[in-house]
Amino acid sequence: MTDKITEIANGIYENVGGMDNVGKIVHCMTRVRMEIRDYSKVNIDNLKKVKGVMGVVEDDTLQVVIGPGTVNKVAQKMVEMAGVKLGDAMPETSDKNNKTKVDEKAAATKAAVKKKNQKPWSKILKSISNIFVPLIPAFVGAGIIGGIASVLGNMMTAGQLTGEHWATIIMVMKIVQNGVFAYLNIYVGINSANEFGASPSLGGVIGGIIMLTGVTPEAPLPNIITGGTLSANQGGIIGVIFAVFLMSLIEKKLRKITPESIDIIVTPTLTLLIMSLLTIFLIMPVAGAISSGLVGFINWILDVGGAFSGFLLGSLFLPMVMFGLHQILTPIHLDMITNTGVTELLPILAMAGAGQVGAAVALWVRCRKNETLTELIKGALPVGVLGIGEPLIYGVTLPLGRPFVTACLGGGIGGAVIGLFGHVGATSIGPSGVALIPLINNGHMLQYVIGLLAGYLGGFVITYFFGTTEAMRKGQI
């Protein structure tokens, strides 16, 4: 494994212009993300051919799809080779005093590429991704533990389990689950502050303010939108992110004009005072109305549209993943969980991964003479079953074109089945595919499994009959 990791790391460096051309390295669940100093030195075609690389996404950062598990090791190996830590600035070994016109041109090329790729919506999506990706392991672990606790609790209610020790185990599991979701606003506040260049501790306080600790029913705070009263967590994480963004602007402005000798006292005090008033009396009511509207609209689509809505949502999710648009759904999922206890959107969107798994199996069967393709499928299929679809997207279906479309249609079939059943929800976010089963709300696990099977079958059948070409089957591409 060590040699494989080193080979991938070296292969990436060789095709991105060398270690000196990389400004910073971080990673998410499946991708090594690099800030590139001069894009003219990057060879995208050869980078895609590096053994172990499943795909490349060009954005304001260069994203190399490696796959879960391996990506952590590759990113760590790359920063170790450079002598830095993940997220730290990479050293420049070239002579800093020798700034020629070539250097200036390289900088201009980098700026042009970043300007081309950094559309406003792209920046927003990147920020949302940076805020929530570090929390995904906590969502997955705590969510699954909470799901197991719910199953055990139902078994106790039905009399299948008895004894105080089971009650204690369930209580401990619920404590773990609540450790994430009860204080999610604080975690989001801290990560948002890091993303927007503000003080993380102040971001955490803003997240805590939205919880309205200390406010009692006897002395409520007014809601300027509805004329009623504010409730704890109103506006949820949408409000937290916006409030911390405003806070970052205020804090940066104050630090510029405040004398250094009193900055440590004046800046955080004024920042929190201003933002607490804005957050409680303006942002919370407005964000609460927006959040409730979004959740209500999505639930309306799911209730009214049924199978048709499920088909559309299931079919369109893979393209959203491809363009990185799926990140914007994270706060919507979390707000749905906060307001209704579950997100009915996630199980439908998870069917897109099922369609892709079915498509991959069909390609394996139909194109068994294509050894290169079947090897890629063998490596990407297991994690695809667990709901991590990027290796299959970038390594298998998307490069071939037609199978990507048939995989989307297979996901639509699974989504239609879930939509037809209705009220199939997930109590947490993070995993997908088979790994989402423990998080499905009580009494609907079977419906979710049926939807998965429909997605698998739909993706397989459509791809088997319509998703391949003779060149694919003969191993010519």
* Domain residue spans of the chain: 4-81, 127-292, 313-474
Q: What's the CA gap between 427 and 405, in Å, rounded?
A: 30
Is the pLDDT at 322 greater than 90? The verdict is: no
CA distance 409 to 427: 26
The whole-angstrom separation of Cα 40 and Cα 461 is 43
Helices and strands of the chain, counted as H and E runs: 21, 4
Q: What is the pLDDT of residue 373?
A: 85
By DSSP bridging, strand 31-36 and strand 55-58 are unpaired
- Tens digit of pLDDT for each residue in 428-455? 886 688 888 888 887 799 999 999 999 9
pLDDT > 80? residue 409: yes
- Is the pLDDT at 153 greater than 50? The verdict is yes
Question: CA dist 445 to 117, 174, 449, Å?
Answer: 41, 20, 6
pLDDT at 248 (0 to 100): 95
Q: How confident is the model at residue 159 (pLDDT cuts 50, 70, 90)?
A: confident
Is the pLDDT at 163 greater than 60? The verdict is yes
Model confidence over 247-290: pLDDT tens digits? 999 999 999 999 988 998 999 999 999 999 999 999 999 988 88
Residue 1, pLDDT above cutoff 70: no
Which whole number is the average pLDDT over 371-391? Answer: 81
**For the packed helices 345-366 and 445-466, what is the interaxial angle rounded to 10 degrees?**
40
- pLDDT at position 120 is 63
Taken in order 410, 412, 414, 420, the sign of the CA dihedral is negative
**Per-residue tokens: 30:** 């499946």
| Of 24, 330, 402, 373, nearest in space to 184 by CA | 330
CATH of domain 4-81: 3.30.1360.60
Q: Give per-residue pLDDT as tens, 76-85.
A: 999 999 988 8
Q: What span, in angstroms and rounded, lies between the C-alpha atoms of 317 and 310?
A: 11
Question: What was the pLDDT predicted at 225?
Answer: 80
* pLDDT tens string 216-246: 888 888 888 878 888 888 888 889 999 999 9
pLDDT beyond 50 at 113: no
CA distance 461 to 407: 10
Print the SS3 string covering 210-244: CCCCCCCCCCCCECCCCCCECCCCCCHHHHHHHHH
Please report, for residues 364, 365, 399, 477, the alpha-carbon distance to residue 373 in angstroms, rounded to integers and kept in the order given. 8, 11, 11, 9
Q: 444 with 414: CB under 8 angstroms? A: no
- List pLDDT tens digits, range 347-370: 999 999 999 999 999 999 999 888
Start-end of H helices in 228-323: 236-257, 260-278, 284-305, 307-323
**CA angle at residue 406 from 405 to 408, to 5 degrees?**
65
| Residue of 28, 284, 367, 393 marked active site | 28
pLDDT of residue 411: 96
Residue 97 pLDDT > 50: no
- Which tokens go with 475? 């191993």
The residue-averaged pLDDT of 134-163 equals 79
**Residue keyed to tokens 């809601």:** 223
List the structure tokens of 25.
Answer: 């390295």
Alpha helix (H) ranges present in 307-421? 307-323, 330-340, 345-366, 371-385, 390-392, 398-400, 402-421
Q: Taking a C-beta distance cutoff of 8 angstroms, is the pair 71, 27 a contact?
A: yes
Q: What is the pLDDT of residue 101?
A: 45
The Cα 397–Cα 151 span in angstroms is 36
10 Å Cβ neighbour count for 320? 16
Residue 208 pLDDT more than 50? yes
Q: Kind and range of the H or E element at 94?
A: none
| Whether pLDDT at 118 is above 60 | no
Q: What's this model's pTM, rounded to 2 decimal places?
A: 0.66
Distance CA 24, CA 73 (A): 16
Active site residue 28: yes
102 pLDDT band, cuts 50/70/90, is very low
Most confident of 18-22, 106-110, 151-155: 18-22
Q: What is the DSSP letter of 273?
A: H
Q: Which residue has the tokens 């009193």?
A: 262
* Res 420 pLDDT > 90: yes
CA distance 394 to 400: 10
In 10 A of CB 105, how many CB atoms? 12
Helix axes 330-340, 120-132, angle to 10 degrees: 60
Residue 98's pLDDT band (boundaries 50, 70, 90)?
very low
Q: Contact at 8 Å (CB) between 170 and 148? A: no
- The pLDDT of 412-427, averaged and rounded, is 93
| pLDDT for residue 438 | 81
Point out the least confidently predicted range of 104-108, 188-192, 239-243, 464-468. Answer: 104-108
Longest dimension (CA), the chain: 78
| Whole-number average pLDDT of the chain | 85
DSSP 416-465: HHHHHH----BSS-S--GGGGGGGBPTT-HHHHHHHHHHHHHHHHHHHHH
The answer to whether residue 400 scores a pLDDT higher than 90 is no
